[in-house]
Structure 1
Amino acid sequence: MDILSQATDSRQATPGQAEPAISRATVTVAQIMKLPLDQVLTGLDIQVIESSITDANFYGGVHIGNGGKITILTSPGRDPRITDTLVRYLTAKTFNLDVADLPAPFGVEYTDITEQARNAWIKAVSA
C-alpha cells in the first residue's frame, strides 16, 4: 500500500460537507473515483498488495477469496498515479459497476480458478 500513499490524491469532500459513507451494499462508481483511495479501500474492506510479478504486461489483478475477502494485486515499480487509477478501476469492476473499459492495449481477463485449484488438490492428494 506504500505505493498508493505516494500518489497525490486531492480528492476531498466539499468544505463543510461530510464525506459520504461507502459500503459494499451501496457503492457507486462516483464514490470509487472521487473519494480518497484509502477511504474507498477501508470502507469496502479491500486489501492492496504489491505483487512480485514483474511482467511488463501485468498491471494488476483481483483475488476474491472465501467470505468475499477482496485483495487487489498491483505490479511493482509503476507510477503511483497509474496504480491509483488501476486500483479504482478494478474495484469498480469487482462490484460489477458500469465503468468504461480501459483503452487498448489494456484488457481485463476474468478467470475462475476454483475448478483448476480443486483438480490440482485432488491430483496432489491422490498421488
Structure 2
Amino acid sequence: MRETELKILFPTERLDALRFFIGKKELTVEQELKDYLDKTYERIVPANVREYVENRLDQTPTQEEASEQEAQESQPEPQRERQSRQSRRQREQTAAEAAPAPESQTEDAAPTEEENQGMSMSI
C-alpha cells in the first residue's frame, strides 16, 4: 500500500509539551494522529466506498507484480535480446565447464566462440 506523508504546522512549544505528556503514557504523537485519521476516515467516508478502497488495497500487490512483468516485456527488443543472450551464454558456459574438453583440438587451433566468451566473462 502506498502511503502519503502529511505535513502540518503546529506551535513548537505546544508540540514539546504534548510529546512530554504523551510520552508518559508510552504513546507517540504520530501514532495518536494516525489513530485519529483512521477514526475520522471511518466516520466520514461511506461504508461502500471504504469497502471499494479496501478491495483495491488487497489487489495492489498482485497488480504491482503484473506491472513489473509488463515493464520487462515492454523493454526495447535489444535489451530483451541481450538478457536472453546472457542467459544462453551462462547456460553454455555451465555446460562447457561440466563437459570434458575435446582432445582432438590442437594447441595452435583458433579458440572457438564459446571459449572466447568464457575468457571475456572471467575478466
Same fold? TM cut 0.5: no
Using structure 2 for the length normalisation, give the TM-score: 0.30
Using structure 1 for the length normalisation, give the TM-score: 0.29
**Greater share of residues in strand:** 1
Bigger radius of gyration among the two = 2
**Greater share of residues in helix:** 2
